[in-house]
């Protein structure tokens, strides 16, 4: 049943204004992160094809350098690829990354499929960005050609244009 739900979402495509589907993925061998745990602040989901490949390395390294820019909006950035947790751990250590990379590893690419950004031919995530607001609604979505590093300008514009979240909803 669950997988049917996933497929129907994927077929419909996930657009701006829709609720971001929840998921739970491992960030390290002994720690997992659920999207719903991040509710209350904007979240930037960065789907990327692979740890270590040149463009991804540039893109992930760039966001790592620009964490201060994202923090200004209170945003949490999260990377997602089909690499396993041990691969992510080595990549995080090597590049001195300060944000989590999630392993969409088993079943492979399930979350990428849920977000309709799975590249079935090569078996990796597309290079896709989602900006999700503090209430869990997708506010911006961008898919780049696989070889093009999209930079951070689109993300920052999307974060800038988010309505200011109410501090507390009574």
Is residue 66 within the footprint of other proteins (CB under 8 A)? yes
CA–CA distance, 105 with 30 (Å, rounded to integer): 15
Distance, CA of 96 to CA of 115 (rounded, Å): 28
Q: Which of 14, 20, 38, 56 does the annotation list as catalytic?
A: 56
What is the nearest approach in angstroms of other proteins to the Cβ of residue 58? 5
Is residue 144 within 8 A of residue 120, CB to CB? The reply is no
Residue with smaller CB distance to other proteins, 26 or 149: 149
Number of residues in contact with other proteins under rule CB under 8 A: 21
Regarding 95 and contact with other proteins (CB under 8 A), the answer is yes
Site residues for other proteins, window 2-61 (CB under 8 A)? 58-59, 61
C-alpha to C-alpha distance for 52 and 39, rounded to whole angstroms: 30
Q: Which of these, 141, 134, 133, 93, lies nearest to 117 by C-alpha position?
A: 141
Q: Is 56 labeled as catalytic in the residue annotation?
A: yes
Window 117-156: residues binding other proteins (CB under 8 A): 149-154, 156
Comparison of 34 and 148: residue with beta carbon closer to other proteins: 148
Alpha-carbon distance of 89 to 68, in angstroms, equals 22
Neighbours of 11 (CB within 10 A): 8
Residues within the interface to other proteins (CB under 8 A): 58-59, 61-62, 64-66, 68-69, 95-98, 149-154, 156-157
């Amino acid at each position: 049943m669950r997988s049917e739900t996933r497929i129907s979402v994927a077929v419909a495509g996930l657009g701006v204004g829709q609720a971001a589907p929840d998921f739970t993925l491992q960030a390290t061998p002994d720690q997992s992160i659920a999207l719903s745990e991040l509710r209350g602040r904007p979240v930037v989901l960065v789907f990327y094809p692979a740890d270590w490949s040149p463009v991804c390395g540039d893109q992930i390294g760039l966001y790592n350098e620009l964490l201060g820019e994202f923090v200004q909006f209170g945003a949490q950035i999260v990377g997602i690829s089909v690499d396993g947790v041990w691969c992510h751990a080595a990549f995080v250590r090597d590049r001195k990354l300060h944000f989590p990379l999630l392993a969409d590893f088993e079943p492979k690419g399930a979350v990428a499929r849920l977000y309709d950004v799975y590249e079935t031919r090569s078996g990796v995530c597309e290079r896709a960005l989602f900006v999700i607001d503090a209430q869990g609604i997708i506010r911006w979505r961008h898919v780049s050609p696989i070889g093009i590093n999209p930079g951070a300008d689109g993300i920052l514009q999307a974060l800038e244009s988010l309505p200011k979240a109410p501090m507390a909803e009574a």
